Chains A and B, each alone.
Chain A
């Protein structure tokens, strides 16, 4: 079955740029979405179709894909961005999530 891989954790200083990667075979040929999940809350869409914001407009969250890797970039990281982040793609009519990355804002 298809798998996508994320680093378990990423740390960033407040105000800096955080990058979270998601890797999978020919992932660049699929649309990737990203979700943020804070403790006790439901996941929330932050990027869809590789690079679009939920409303079609970009904010501090942006995404790119190239080859086998999708990347979520958070600009001007704030304490409120501390959360788990998941990439998601489709493969043969099934949905695949990455294992999740815990973002820590130090």
Chain B
């Protein structure tokens, strides 16, 4: 079945960077965008950006434009999200989620989440 599997828990110090992976399987990779969303303690879901399946383009949320980089490797059906200059308020669970290409507006499958702790 279709699934997204993310890399494991990360702990970083303030000012460092973190790179999380999201590997897709069980579906045609090129038919879905991959988004990154986080949930910090005591907060709701927050969108970080979208990655095209080809890995050729990404659009980032305004709040993260200068700190986030999304890349992709279609050959391994894996997408990466790197967040730099980490602060304590970046402590959160980070999720990848897929969104059908075309006019679809929803996320139907989510990764299991990656805990990032900045301390």
Contacts and interface: CB of A to CB of B under 8 A. Distances in A.
Interface of A: 1, 30-31, 33, 35, 37, 42-45, 48-49, 54, 84, 86, 88-90, 93-100
Contacts, number: 60
B44 A98 contact: yes
Interface residues of B, number: 21
B106 A93 contact: no
A94 B63 CA distance: 12
B23 interface: no
Contact of A35 (B45, B47, B62, B113): B45
Given A43-B45, A43-B95, A94 B61 contact: yes
A20 to B, nearest CB: 13
Task: Give the 3 A-B CB pairs with smallest separation, nearest first.
Answer: A100-B44, A48-B106, A42-B110
Contact of A42 (B35, B47, B50, B112): B112
